[in-house]
Amino acid sequence: MSIINNDSGENRRTIIAVALSVIVITVGFYIQSVYFPQTKPTVPAPVGTTAPAAPAGSTVAPAPGATVFAEAPKAPVATPALPAVEAPVAERTYTIETDILQAVFSNRGGQLLSLKLKKHKDNEGAVDLFVPGTPDIRGLAVSFGNAQAAPMQEFMNTSVRGKTIEFTRTLFAMVPGKTEPSPFTYRKVFSFNDGEYLFGMAVSLTNSENSALPLNQDGIAYTLSFGPRIGPSVTKMGSNTDIRKILTYSGGKRKDEKQKNQPWSSATQPLWSAISGKYFVFVAIPQITSFSTTYTETQPGPDQVTALSFSRPAIPASSQTDTYYFYFGPKTQADLGRYNYEKDNAFRLQGLQLDTAMDGGGILKPFEDLLKFVMNLFYKLVPNYGVAIILLTILVKAIMFPLSKKGSMASARMQELQPKMQELQAKYKSNPQKLNEEMAKFYKEEGYNPMSGCLPLLIQFPIFIAMYNLFNNHFDLRGASFIPGWIPDLSMPESVWNFGGFALPILGWTDLRLLPIIYVGSQLLYGKFTQMPQTGQSAAQMKLMMYGMPVMFFFMLYNVPSGLLVYWIAQNILTIGQQIVINDYIKAHKAKRAAAEPVIAPKRRPTK
């Protein structure tokens, strides 16, 4: 979990300044184009020179290498004119729908503008792959050059056949050493299927003559980019922030990626790269033999940028078709795991191991999976995940009761033996070796194992961590209501009063939450019932732990998912009840043992 920092005032001023600059420049260009038009047409610049402003609807790739451009006006005699090509003159959008996806495309470069998940909602409706209002969206845009090159923005011819959409356009490249522009055909095809969060894309390039494609910008033919952010919208939720991170899968292992730019050899090239959120993930699966990737990350927050780019090396052939697959959907085993076996998906893909993108508990994952299975069984019986969490907590506490009882009995026994142990420590404080021998002898005489109190806790701790991870990350808790009007979403913090735009200084809290307060109360009661009597310095330390820890956790857990606090409160209440039963048992056990011990009568003085 990570806490989002508020945007500083300096950032706001910078954004405002940039926005005003863009407005002023745009108005200036408009006035110049209307009232002071150019008398000579502009043309793409030759390699090694700086290109003048390109006409509307054309794009110029940066030098060095081949310069790619679309149809342009007639050029001066020194530069060959380009033939006219058939292409639209205005932007249009197209929508492709399946039973679970809605994709919106633009004919400007054949870019993806929106990809909505019909079955999953956020505050703005269906979850969208692209955060609304995000600037510089690159919806699988193609740039002829490296990751810094401008994306292709020409209007493309478009055809739709069922759930497949195709964009085509003839482009031109000025190649060093040639006086005539070289035309080539650029084609981009997207394909969708019902029931699939994964879709396919093909980039096809065909030269007009039987020679190598005229695309080579510093050894790069083109770059496919996605970003700068994936949905749903990220809001400031303290430690419950839905941060983004970049993952790769290579050599059978998932890795959190940190490099800004990574050229891969054929031996180390990842099977896929992903931008992962808390509940959703975007996975890119290039089906090409060689590429380099550029990862872009910024500090987590509402304006976090996390982008991926794949740069394809120059193509020595006259035509080439590259295939990519992309997954955008929930991080669930059912949806991600279907691409491990070809019979389970319409694209006949296998061995992708997309399910490793899920956030699991590592070696504790078997515990998490078992707990998730049991919780879902309870949900089928009582269709309320809040109730299912409480029932699961009761079941786990019941199973762990013998261990808890054993641990409490061991602690009580340790408390009884404490005075004698302190005597031995004082007697042999200058001889540690002798002290250890006498302590071992003492434990043997009393029939006490000092590890008997620790072992039950060590066994229970992994289960506690697994339950924590489950309630913090389980996808089905997203949007799941517990108590309508108070806890409408177990994956989010609850609120009983919103401060109306006001945030508490330093803390940044914008809501009054009841569950953290209930948690502190239950934790204090928990300490009262479980704390063993102490004396001296130990008593002061225990008092600090008893009162200080709940207060510290109150601030740490104030903005965590409400499902996690429901579990923790239920855990504390059940532990209190369990401890009352154990304490009564300990008292009865002490009384029974005291009654069984022989009574030694005091010696009488002899009578005179």
Q: Which two tokens stand for residue 556?
A: 């740490």
Mean pLDDT, contiguous 10-residue spans, the chain (608 residues): 35 43 47 42 28 34 52 44 75 96 95 94 83 79 88 93 95 79 92 96 91 87 88 60 83 78 66 90 92 79 78 91 96 93 94 89 81 93 94 91 78 75 81 83 75 68 83 86 91 87 83 92 80 57 72 86 91 87 77 66 58
Rounded distance between C-alpha atoms, residue 298 and residue 303, angstroms: 9
- H and E: helices and strands count for the chain: 9, 21
Please check whether residue 346 is in contact with residue 327, taking contact to mean a CB–CB distance below 8 angstroms.
no
Question: What span, in angstroms and rounded, lies between the C-alpha atoms of 305 and 262?
Answer: 18
What's the pTM value of the predicted model, to 2 decimals? Answer: 0.75
Give the rounded distance of the alpha carbon of 503 from its chain centre.
26
The pLDDT, as a whole number, for residue 282 is: 94
CA atoms within 13 A on the CB side of 390: 12
Distance of alpha carbon 34 from alpha carbon 26, whole angstroms: 12
Judged on CB neighbours under 10 Å (0-12, 13-18, 19+), 280 is buried
- Torsions phi, psi for 43 (to 5 deg): -135, 160
Q: How far is CA 366 from the centre of its chain?
A: 21
Q: List the domain boundaries for the chain.
A: 85-357, 366-417+449-596
Quote the tokens at residue 297. 């990350």
Q: Which amino acid is at 4?
A: I
State the Cα–Cα distance between residues 328 and 196, nearest whole angstrom.
9
- Measured between alpha carbons, how far is residue 200 from residues 163, 190, 325, 347, 536 in Å? 11, 6, 4, 8, 70
Integer Cα distance of 439 and 177 in angstroms = 91
- The Cα 14–Cα 19 span in angstroms is 9
The reported pLDDT for the residue numbered 466 is: 85
- Report how far residue 173's alpha carbon sits from residue 203's, in angstroms, rounded to the nearest whole number: 17
The DSSP output letter for 235 is: -
Segment holding 472, helix H or strand E: helix 454-473
Give the Cα separation of 378 and 368 in Å (integer): 15
pLDDT for 377 equals 95
Beta bridge partners of 247: 256, 274
pLDDT of residue 39: 36
3-state secondary structure 287-333: CCCCCEEEEEECCCCCCCCEEEEEEEECCCCCEEEEEEEEEEEECCH
We find that the CATH architecture of domain 85-357 is Distorted Sandwich (2.70)
